[in-house]
Amino acid sequence: MKSWIESANKPESGFPVQNIPFGIASLKAGPDEDVRRCVTAIGECVVDLAKLETCGLISTGVDDFGPVFDKPELNDFMSLGNVVWKRVRTALIELLKEDGNSALRENGELRQQVIIPMENAVMHLPFRIAEYTDFYAGRQHATNVGTMFRGAENALPPNWLHIPIGYNGRASTVVVSGTPVYRPNGQLKAPDAQMPHFGPCKRLDIELEMGAVVGVSSNMGEPVTVAQADEMIFGYVLLNDWSARDIQAWEYQPLGPFQAKAFATSISPWIITRLALEPFRVSTPEREKPLLDYLKEPGPMLYDINLEVEMQSSTASTPTTISRTNYTNLYYSAAQQLAHHTSSGCKMNTGDLLGSGTISGPEKSGFGSLLEISWGGKEPLKLEDGEERTFIEDGDKLTLRGWAQGEGYRIGFGECAGTILPAPDIGSNQKGHRHEN
């Protein structure tokens, strides 16, 4: 399937007509530069969905709901569920494929209004994030970290093979790709010190993750099955859950991560829909121990998605790829995580974000954090320009990329990038240090 927009047909394009992701964009200049609009991506362009909805070329088909794309966030659209998601996606494919509906292709005036070069668009957070939960669902990562701190014989906690472990994070500091991240301050304690001190994190790290975006809400007191949970998921984003390892080491017992993870989580600006990823479904790994019935899957629940991480210092001319792995290295799928989240009767909302946990492959070249790559700082990573890293330094830029490779096309996720800025002065006025979403 090809598009009449030629840039979408390049084999390396992440946004062919088979993708149809959803995001929020504004223009870089012009009378509407401050207006955020719902968009999709096709090749090297974004498409204004509000204008297509206004002229009747796309519709949710839900008469009593009203327009959904003239909004600065995708939540209203996401809340309408699978039938509507599929209806809109099908209409967009028909408008953008080369032998489809000609209403847009043959209307030059409308094309000029609707199709915007990607370089003229500014991407924003694609949805209003209701809550954020981060899981710990990568077995290799959990094994690596456990081995470092508890030894190989006690690497996995006793519950790990039975339950998707997670913690509730902060939705307020989830930011879109490109937003600078300030190095966090926190309470630290050296192993040989009698008292902690307060200061900038010195062991700042990334976590290569995927984020599942909940579209359809659930009811309080009503658990959902894994199959129902899968249907509730609107789509997926790349996710970097920045981590202050030294702050976490002091604070995490007995309740787990707190300020070590609360300062920033970056996501990519495009939500890649579950519908676009259907051809890439694969099964989760064989279970070492049988799961309880409520976590058993009715079919393949993971996706074959290639993932990689680049690191570039402020003085380097080119980035260094420091990790290549795949989404299939998770032990628990997002649907299982979501089903478990509701198992107590917890209500899930439109716009909830579920982080997968760090995705590490079986080899060092596929580890998803610097903690693992440098093995706790003992094995420095050498970048292409000769610099070495154990953890992230100020000015370093980290970029996550992902794509599912089809036959002659790829479903791209775009980038999830962030650059580290120095920690704010302790006690200084923080008004100038707020993240912009």
The Cα-based distances of 354 to 143, 168, 210, 211 in angstroms read 21, 9, 8, 5
User: Considering the domain boundaries, does residue 150 fall inside one?
Assistant: yes
167 and 39 in a common domain: no
User: Considering the domain boundaries, does residue 78 fall inside one?
Assistant: yes
Q: Which residues of 13-39 are buried (b: 16+ CB within 10 A; e: fewer)?
A: bbbbbbbbbbbbbbbeeeeeeeebbbb
Beta-strand pair 197-200/185-188: antiparallel
- Return the pLDDT at 132: 98
273 and 150 in a common domain: yes
The residues annotated with a catalytic role in the active site are 141
Between CA 400 and CA 325 the distance in angstroms is 11
201 and 117 in a common domain: no
Between CA 67 and CA 95 the distance in angstroms is 19
First to last CA, the chain: 35
pLDDT one-digit tens code per residue, 374-400:
999 999 999 999 999 999 999 999 999
200 and 90 in a common domain: no
Angle at 348 between CA 344 and CA 352, to 5 degrees: 130
Q: How many domains does the chain have?
A: 2
pLDDT one-digit tens code per residue, 55-83:
999 999 998 888 999 999 999 999 999 99
Between CA 419 and CA 119 the distance in angstroms is 20
425 and 307 in a common domain: yes
Run of H or E including 421: strand 410-421
Rounded to an integer, the average pLDDT of 282-298 is 97
Q: Which of 53-67, 84-98, 236-250, 360-374 has the lowest mean pLDDT?
A: 53-67
151 and 102 in a common domain: no
User: Considering the domain boundaries, does residue 250 fall inside one?
Assistant: yes
Domain boundary (124, 158, 177) is at 124
161 and 79 in a common domain: no
Q: Which residue, among 370, 341, 39, has the nearest Cα to 203 in the 3D structure? A: 370
Between CA 118 and CA 41 the distance in angstroms is 8
Please determine, for residue 17, whether its predicted confidence score (pLDDT) is greater than 70: yes
Domain boundary (75, 100, 124) is at 124
Run of H or E including 129: none
86 and 136 in a common domain: no
85 and 222 in a common domain: no
370 and 312 in a common domain: yes
User: Considering the domain boundaries, does residue 1 fall inside one?
Assistant: no
Q: What CATH code is carried by the domain that includes residue 103? A: 2.30.30.230
Q: What CATH code is carried by the domain that includes residue 395? A: 3.90.850.10
**Band of the pLDDT at 29, cuts 50, 70, 90?**
confident
- Return the pLDDT at 436: 46
**Band of the pLDDT at 434, cuts 50, 70, 90?**
very low
286 and 323 in a common domain: yes
117 and 184 in a common domain: no
Give the range of the structural domain holding residue 55, as residue numbers without chain letter. Answer: 6-124
Q: Is residue 50 left, alpha or beta, with left meaning phi > 0 and alpha meaning psi from -120 to 50?
A: alpha
User: Rounded to an integer, what is the distance from CA 260 to the centroid of its chain?
Assistant: 19
User: Considering the domain boundaries, does residue 339 fall inside one?
Assistant: yes
User: Considering the domain boundaries, does residue 161 fall inside one?
Assistant: yes
Between CA 327 and CA 144 the distance in angstroms is 17
3-state SS assignment for residue 400: strand
pLDDT one-digit tens code per residue, 166-225:
999 999 999 999 999 999 999 999 989 999 999 999 999 999 999 999 999 999 999 999
Domain boundary (67, 89, 124) is at 124
Please determine, for residue 433, whether its predicted confidence score (pLDDT) is greater than 80: no
User: Considering the domain boundaries, does residue 392 fall inside one?
Assistant: yes
pLDDT one-digit tens code per residue, 122-165:
999 999 999 999 999 999 999 999 999 899 999 999 999 999 99
**Band of the pLDDT at 435, cuts 50, 70, 90?**
very low
User: Considering the domain boundaries, does residue 397 fall inside one?
Assistant: yes
Average pLDDT of every residue of the chain: 95
